Structure 1
Amino acid sequence: MNVRRILANASRREVLLSLLVVGVASSALGAVTWAHFSDSDASRSNALEAGTLDVTLDGANGQTASFSLTNARPADSTRHNFTLRNVGSTAGNHVEVTLSFSENDTRTEPSDPDLGTELDANATASHVRVTQLVYKDDSGTVIENPLSNVSDDNNNGIKDLDDVRNQAGTLDNLRAPKPNGASETYLVIGVRIANDDDAFTGTDEDIMADGVDVKITVTLNQDSSQ
C-alpha cells in the first residue's frame, strides 16, 4: 500500500512536471516573432535646370542710342530697324514692346516769349510723329503693322510717340524669334519732327530747345498670360 502510494505520488509528480514543461514550452513558443524581408533601390542623377530666355537688340544686351535726331527742325526724320534674337535655350511665346520718355533739354529756350514754350518729356514726344511702325519676320515680310491700330489720342492731327506709348497693347503679342538664335524678327520705327504745315494741328515752334530721350524696352515673354 505504501508502495502503491509512492508510485501514485511519483506518477502525479511526473504528470505535474509534464504539464509544467508543456506550459513553459507553450509560453516560449508564443514569444517567437518573425522578421520580414525588404529591398530598396534609388533613382539617381535627377537633374532640374532652368533654361534661359534672353532677348537681344541689334546683337547686344542694353543697346543704347539706336536712333537720334539732334539740332532737329520740323520735318526732320530718322528711321531704325531693330533686330531681335532669342539667344537663350527656351522658346518664347510673344514679344512685347513698351516706350517710356525722359526729358533731355540741352539747349536754352529762346528769349522771345512767343517761342520760349517749355515742354516736358510727354509733350515733346507728342511733337514727334511716328511715320512707320512695323514688325517683320526673318525673311523681311511684314507680319504686324501696329501703327494701323494706333489712334490720335491727344487730338493733334498725327500719330505720335506719345500716342504709341499710351496705347501699349498695340505693341504686344508680337511673334517671338526662335530660341538659340535660330531666327530673327525686326521692329522698324520711323519718326519725324512734327510740322504744322502738315497735318499737325499744334505749333511746331513749341518744340524749340526741347528734347526727349525715348527708351524702347523689348520683352520676350515665355507664356501667353504675361
Structure 2
Amino acid sequence: MGVKKQLGIGVMTAALGLSLIGGGTYAYFSDSETTNNTFAAGTLDLAVEPTQVIEVDNIQPGDSMTRNFELQNNGSLAIDKVLLETNYSVTDAEGDNTGDFGDHIQVEFLYNADKLDEVIYQTTLAELKNMSPEAVNEHVFDPVLEDGLEPGSLDDLVVKFNFIDNGENQNQFQGDSLNLEWTFNAQQAADDGE
C-alpha cells in the first residue's frame, strides 16, 4: 500500500474515532418546560353621580343652591388626580347683556356632608372657566382626595352655587340661562413597582 493510501485510511480512522468520541459527549438527559404569560392592562374608570349636578329655574340675585355628588373609581387602577375643566354658554333672553352671567354665579367647593360650613375653595364660574385643570385640582381636589381614589372607592363632594347679589341693577340677566358643562378627567397614580 502506498503512503498516500495509508495516510488516507489513517485520516478516515481518526475522523471516525473523533465522531464517536464527539457523539458520546452529547448524550445526556434533558427536560424542558414552557410558561404561558399574559399582560393585561388595568382600567381607569372615573364616574360622577349624578351626571347632572344642578338644574334650577327662576333663580334671582341672592339665591343659593347646595348640591352633592360623588366621584367614583370604577376601574382597576388607582386615581391620583382629578382634573376639572369648566365650560359654559349663556343664552341672553333680551340681548342686552353687557356682562358675563358667569361672573355673577359664585361656586363654593365644600368638604363633604359632615362639614358643610367649611369652604375648600371659592370662585366664580367665569374664573373657574379660565383656570387650568391642574390649578383646579390643586385648590379643590387635592385637599379632599389627599390619597387619591383607590379602585372601588368613592368620595362625596359638595358644591354650593350662589347667584351673587351685588347690590346693583342686575336686570340684564332677567330670563337668561347658563348651561354649565363640567368635564372630570382622571389621571392614574404612579406605579408602585408591583
Normalised to the residue count of structure 1, the TM-score between the two structures is: 0.64
CA distance in 2 between counterparts of 1:128 and 1:30 reads 98
Considering fraction of residues, name the structure with more strand: 2
CA distance in 2 between counterparts of 1:21 and 1:144 reads 107
**Is the Cα contact below 8 Å between 1:96 and 1:172 reproduced in 2?**
yes
**Is the Cα contact below 8 Å between 1:118 and 1:210 reproduced in 2?**
no
CA distance in 2 between counterparts of 1:146 and 1:22 reads 103
Q: Would the alpha carbon gap of residues 144 and 89 (structure 1) be closer, same or farther in structure 2, given more than 3 Å must change?
A: farther
**Is the Cα contact below 8 Å between 2:76 and 2:151 reproduced in 1?**
yes
Q: Which residue of 120, 138, 141 maps to 1:145? A: 120
SS of 1:75 mapped into structure 2:
coil
Q: Give the equivalent residue in structure 1 for 2:162.
A: 192
CA distance in 2 between counterparts of 1:87 and 1:41 reads 42
- The amino acid across from 1:75 in the alignment is G
Alignment of 1:75 with 2:50, yes or no, is no
**Is the Cα contact below 8 Å between 2:67 and 2:160 reproduced in 1?**
yes
Alignment of 1:133 with 2:98, yes or no, is no
Higher Cα Rg, which structure: 1
1:146-198 Cα shifts (integer Å, max 9, x gaps): 33xxxxxxxxxxx4111122234442153222212xx321221111222122x
Q: Would the alpha carbon gap of residues 43 and 93 (structure 1) be closer, same or farther in structure 2, given more than 3 Å must change?
A: farther
CA distance in 1 between counterparts of 2:86 and 2:54 reads 14
**Is the Cα contact below 8 Å between 1:69 and 1:77 reproduced in 2?**
no
Which residues of structure 1 form unaligned runs of 5+? 1-16, 110-115, 148-158
Alignment of 1:49 with 2:40, yes or no, is yes
Give the aligned length: 174
Q: Which residue of 93, 98, 103 maps to 2:85? A: 98
Give matches, 1:83-94, under 5 Å.
Answer: 83-94=70-81
- Deviating 4+ runs (over 3 angstroms): 29-43, 139-144
SS of 1:171 mapped into structure 2:
helix
**Is the Cα contact below 8 Å between 1:117 and 1:206 reproduced in 2?**
yes
- The amino acid across from 1:24 in the alignment is G
Normalised to the residue count of structure 2, the TM-score between the two structures is: 0.73
Which residues of structure 2 form unaligned runs of 5+? none
CA distance in 2 between counterparts of 1:97 and 1:141 reads 22
> 1:214 Cα shift?
0.8
Calculate the aligned-residue CA RMSD, in Å: 3.1
CA distance in 2 between counterparts of 1:160 and 1:213 reads 14
**Is the Cα contact below 8 Å between 1:133 and 1:145 reproduced in 2?**
yes
Compare 20-29 and 67-76 and name the one that shifted more. Answer: 20-29
> 1:87 Cα shift?
1.2
CA distance in 2 between counterparts of 1:203 and 1:42 reads 83
SS of 1:187 mapped into structure 2:
strand
Q: Would the alpha carbon gap of residues 50 and 90 (structure 1) be closer, same or farther in structure 2, given more than 3 Å must change?
A: same
Q: Which residue of 131, 150, 171 maps to 2:136? A: 171
Compare 183-192 and 40-49 and name the one that shifted more. Answer: 40-49
CA distance in 2 between counterparts of 1:86 and 1:20 reads 88
Alignment of 1:204 with 2:170, yes or no, is yes
Identity of aligned residues (%): 20
**Is the Cα contact below 8 Å between 1:68 and 1:78 reproduced in 2?**
no
Q: Would the alpha carbon gap of residues 23 and 87 (structure 1) be closer, same or farther in structure 2, given more than 3 Å must change?
A: same
**Is the Cα contact below 8 Å between 2:77 and 2:189 reproduced in 1?**
no
> 1:135 Cα shift?
4.5
